[in-house]
Amino acid sequence: MKYRTANDLKDLLLEDYEKVVNHIPLEKLDVYVYLQTVFHDTYVPDDTLYQFIFRHFFRLDNPSLTKEFEIFYFKLMEEQRGYERPNIVQITRDLYEVKNHKGNPTMQFPLAASMLHTINPSFPSYDSDIVKSFDFSSTYHLSGFEKKMKRYIGQYQHTFKTYEELIQDEALEPMFNHFDERFPEYDLPKIKKLDLMVAQLGNLLQ
């Protein structure tokens, strides 16, 4: 698969980096900081306010998913907090076993990535904006867990490696500096700043 490389993304980001940064919604940072901060001091399965905000922010409010899925998701999230490197394949497999309203298993890799990203922001997020930035191919037509998982993992590893390259690229420093000027009160890890900028790029791409 030919996805956008670090050089491809660098060119797109630097083309109009002020526009990219300026379009990042302030509330996105506020909610992210809330979810990160509170996560370390709460018991997620019992914190209904935390669950409510998380569901809306990470689009867990999917009409096809059941209440059982939601309960299982937050229990699993609580269990995973103790692991230094949670296994995203196993998390996705566990979520796959929880049937939807039609009684079918569903592939919820983006939600597995959201779980890991909340536990540790060094794990990239994975949503429709990130997919658009990297020009990732869909898994919709692939049948079965293993084929879909192979595609997702390949894309996720590509994201991780690309972020590592971009973080080290001095050419992007003006963009990071502009981010800090735009959001001076937010002390975010550099990897999260990049994640936000790449997601916003995807949001702006036609």
Give the tens place of pLDDT for each residue, 92-139. 999 999 998 888 899 999 999 999 999 988 899 999 999 999 999 988
Q: Check if the beta carbon of residue 109 is closer than 8 Å to that of residue 149.
A: yes
What pLDDT does residue 8 have?
96
What pLDDT does residue 155 have?
96
| Residue ranges in 126-189 assigned as alpha helix (H) | 128-134, 145-168, 173-182
CA distance 18 to 73: 37
Q: Check if the beta carbon of residue 14 is closer than 8 Å to that of residue 175.
A: yes
What pLDDT does residue 1 have?
67
**Quick one: which of 32, 39, 16 has its CA closest to 193?**
32
Give the tens place of pLDDT for each residue, 42-60. 999 999 999 999 999 998 9
Summary mean pLDDT of the chain: 94
CA distance 195 to 78: 24
CB-neighbour burial class of residue 116 (10 A; exposed 0-12, middle 13-18, buried 19+) = buried
Residues comprising the chain, all counted: 206
